[in-house]
Amino acid sequence: MTKAVLLEDPHPSADPIFADADITVERISGALDESELIDALSDADIVGIRSKTSVTRRVIEACPRLSVIGCFCIGTNQVDIDAATAAGIAIFNAPYSNTRSVVELAIGHIISLTRRIPAKNAALHRGEWQKTASGAHEVRGKTLGIVGYGNIGTQLSVLAEAMGMNVVFYDHTDRLALGNAVKLGSLDDLLRMSDVVSLHVDGRETNRDFFGEREFSQMKDGALFINLARGFVADIEALRRHLVSGHLAGAAVDVYPSEPKKNGDPFTSPLVGLDNVILTPHIGGSTLEAQNDIGRFVAGKIVDYRTRGITEMSVNIPNLTLQANPDARYRLCHIHRNMPGVLAAVNQTFATQGVNINGQILGTQAEVGYALTDIASELPVETVAALRAMTETVRLRVLELDSANA
C-alpha cells in the first residue's frame, strides 16, 4: 500500500487523483515540528506540505521510505533540497498555479493604499466621518516598481499597465520586458523613481534581508511598499520606522519573518496598529481557484512519478518522460550519482543476464542522474539486486507496466 501524508490542508481536489492511483491519504491539519513530522511519516511514501512545514535533513534521514515531497505552493525553500536529492527523493511544486491570485491581491493593495482606504476604514470603525480627498490619488499615471520580474512580476506588470500605471522593473536575471515596461539597470534607480515598490523575489537564501534600511531610505517621499514575496526578505523594523516618520505613505504586507503554525494562533508584528498598513495572513495564493488548481497539479505530478516514473517539472531530479511501448512489462526508475559510465554499467548488467531493453532515456542534472528503462522480457530478481548494489545507485524503483500506465 502506498501512503501519502498531507499537512496544512491542501485542497481536496488532490484526493480523488490519489484515490484513482490506489494511494491512501492521511490528512493532518496545520504544520508539525521536526520530531512530530518524523513520527507522522514513519510509514509514508509521500508527504504533501504547504509553506509552514519544514522537511529538514533530519526528517529525510529518519524517513527512508519517503520517495516524493509535494509542495502544494509556489516555493520549495521549506525543503532541504540537497538532502532530498542525495536520498533520491523527488520534489514537485506548483510554480504557476496561484500566480493570478497573488497578482490580483497586489493590485487590490495598490488601489487601496493609493486611495488611503485602510485609514478611512479605521476612522469609520472608530465612529469618525472623514470625507476628504486629502492624500487620496488615482493609480493612473503613477510609477510601479516591480522587484523580481518572474511569473508573478510579469503578470502584475501587464495588469498594472492596463490600469494606466507606468511600470519599471529590476531583476538580477536578464528578463524580456512586456508591453511598455522598462527594465532598469539597478535597484537604486527603481527605488528613486517608483511611487509604489512591490517585491516579487523568490525564496533563495541570498535574498534574505536584502531589502532593509538602505533601500527604504532611497524610496520616494510618500511612496508605498508591498511585500507579497517572502517574509525574510524585508526588514520589518526598518519599514515601521519609515512609516511612522511619514517618509512612506503606506504599506501592505502578506508575509512575515515569523508566522503562526496554524489558524487561531496569536500573531504579533511591529506593524500591528498602524492605520496606513494592510496586514494579511499569508493569503497571496489563497483563493479557492488557485488552491483547487494547486491540489490537482501537484497530486498529478506525484502520481505520474509514483506510477510511471515521470519527473516532468520536478525541481531536483532530471525531467524525463518516456512513453511506454505496449510490449513493455517493467519500468526501472534509477536515480544515481552523476558519474561517467553508469548507464553503460546498467546496460551491461542487463545484457549479461539476458534482459531485453524495450525503451530507455537518461537525464543528468548537477550531481544526480536519472534513467528510465523499459523491459519487455522477464526481469530476474538477481538483475534488480545487482543494480541496487551498484555504488552509484541512490534509489531504484521497479514498476509493473500495464495498458493503463503505458
5 vs 230: CA distance, rounded Å? 25
Catalytic amino acids?
230, 259, 282
Long-range contact pairs involving 85-88 (C-beta distance under 8 Å, separation at least 24): 85/316, 85/317, 85/367, 85/368, 86/394, 87/60, 87/61, 87/394, 87/395, 88/335, 88/394, 88/395
Report which of 349, 339, 340 is spatially closest to residue 389, judged by C-alpha positions: 349
Domains present along the chain, CATH in parentheses: 1-97+287-317 (3.40.50.720), 99-279 (3.40.50.720), 318-406 (3.30.70.260)
Q: What are 33-73's pLDDT values in tens digits?
A: 999 999 999 999 999 999 889 999 999 999 999 999 999 99
Q: Which residues contact 114 (CB under 8 A, 6 or more apart)?
A: 136, 137, 138, 139, 142, 196, 224
Q: Which residues contact 269 (CB under 8 A, 6 or more apart)?
A: 236, 253, 256, 279
176 vs 173: CA distance, rounded Å? 10
The pTM of this model reads 0.83
**Radius of gyration, alpha carbons of the chain:** 25
118 vs 122: CA distance, rounded Å? 6
Report pLDDT for 84. 98
Q: Tell me which H or E stretch contains 241.
A: helix 236-244
Residue 81, all three cell numbers: 533540497
Report pLDDT for 287. 93
* Residue given cell 531610505 in the structure block: 217
Report pLDDT for 404. 39
Q: What integer is the mean pLDDT of 180-185? A: 96
Q: What are 109-121's pLDDT values in tens digits?
A: 999 999 999 999 9
Cα distances from 69 to residues 62, 117, 234, 289, 324, in angstroms, run: 14, 41, 28, 23, 25
Report pLDDT for 75. 84
Q: Residue 161 burial by CB count (10 A; 0-12/13-18/19+): exposed, middle or buried?
A: middle
Q: What are 306-315's pLDDT values in tens digits?
A: 999 999 999 9
Number of CB atoms found within 10 A of residue 406's CB: 14
Q: What are 62-111's pLDDT values in tens digits?
A: 999 999 999 999 889 899 999 999 999 999 999 888 899 999 999 999 99
113 vs 252: CA distance, rounded Å? 8
Please give the DSSP secondary-structure letter assigned to residue 234.
B
Cα distances from 246 to residues 137, 221, 242, 280, 348, in angstroms, run: 17, 8, 6, 22, 72
Could you tell me how far CA 314 lies from the centroid of its own chain? 12
Q: Is residue 406 pLDDT above 60, yes or no?
A: no
Please give the DSSP secondary-structure letter assigned to residue 29.
S
Report pLDDT for 97. 86
Average pLDDT score over the chain: 95
CB-facing half-sphere around the CA of 257: CA atoms within 13 A: 15
